[in-house]
Amino acid sequence: VAETMNFADVSGWRNGGTIHIIANNQLGFTAEPDDSRSTLYASDVAKGYKVPIVHVNADDPEACLEVARLAIGYLLEFGKDFVIDLIGYRRYGHNEGDEPRFTQPLMYKKVDEHPTVRELWANRLVEQDLIKGDQAQEMVDRHFNKLQEIMNKLDPQESIVEPEPEPPPPGAAKKAHTAVPIDRLRGLHQSLLDLPEGFTLHPRLSRILKPRHSALDDLAESRVDWATAEALALASILEEGIAIRMTGEDVERGTFSHRHAVLHDAETGRQYAPMQHLPQAGAAFEIVNSPLTENGAVGFEYGYNIQEPDRLVIWEAQYGDFIDGAQPVIDEFIVSGRDKWGQTPSLVLLLPH
């Protein structure tokens, strides 16, 4: 939650606002609120982001509806996050075999005596003369009978079948031809080296980048470094009309001061990304430094990749072992997404050493 809220106004992750709904049962599995947090409200984590927080009684459906309308209106008007603290209770245990009265006897004494949301709302409608006293129960019976009728028609062996992921098409793992003609690479290389008129590089950076100018002159003698090879590979992909999103920890400069995909004018501070001004490009190139919250960042990129499968999505860790912070996303989504949901993620993880 904290990582998601932190992304709200961060360049590259801004999404025009998110509605956060806290399903607040006032209880964990058996944990009380003061076992779970140091603040009064579960929503207090949002206070640092200057967003509206509304606490609403889950027993009042009409109030809940009004808050939902308010949240959507606010998001559409201002493009900012909105938090709804939906305060209710858990009528039964954490699961079908759990007995909450072992650990919360007083709370569940009150729950046992408390009418359900449906009963409360039905009574209110009767008091307002909107329905007759027996109409509410008639509606309940009618809908439950319909559900029971549907359930009776189900055949557990045939109606409830776990989806099987489709096998890869024949030849999906064939070796691809990735070679790019040298003349084409030289043209891309020259375009990446061109700078705007009057752009002043830091003197030390000029010396670092100088060998790149002759990197492709004499292939028998010259050596192409990692950053140059990477830039040419990405440029050739852009030339073919495939968009690229590259994010990560210090990814613009590169952890080892090797990439310099975004240059900074030493006199004015102006930024310039050569890949974004590539005349041969047939698609967009996005490069953004990501927050140092690996689990949230990689989770976001996984979701981005699933929604944009035709875009090359890359996330780079600051160092290889920094990926440890994102291990839950790797294990639960990237590695197992195909078996769980039939998804075929193509997120690229760069782990520099």
CA–CA separation, 176 and 160 (whole Å): 40
* pLDDT at res. 320: 84
The predicted-structure confidence for 184-233, as pLDDT tens digits, reads as follows 999 999 999 999 999 999 999 999 999 999 999 988 888 899 999 999 99
The predicted-structure confidence for 55-98, as pLDDT tens digits, reads as follows 999 999 999 999 999 999 999 999 999 999 999 999 999 888 89
Least confident of 130-134, 136-140, 160-164, 240-244: 160-164
* pLDDT at res. 307: 95
In CATH terms, is domain 182-350 a member of 3.40.50.12470?
yes
Least confident of 120-134, 162-176, 249-263: 162-176
* pLDDT at res. 191: 97
Instruction: For residue 107, name the pLDDT band (cuts at 50, 70, 90).
Output: very high
Name the pTM for this structure. Answer: 0.85
The predicted-structure confidence for 265-315, as pLDDT tens digits, reads as follows 999 999 999 999 999 999 999 999 999 999 999 999 999 999 999 999 999
Delimit the domains of the chain by residue range: 2-114, 182-350
* pLDDT at res. 128: 94
pLDDT at 159 over 70: no
Buried b (16+ CB within 10 A) or exposed e, 35-47: eeeeeebbbebbe
* pLDDT at res. 346: 93
C-beta of residue 188 within 8 angstroms of C-beta of residue 232: yes
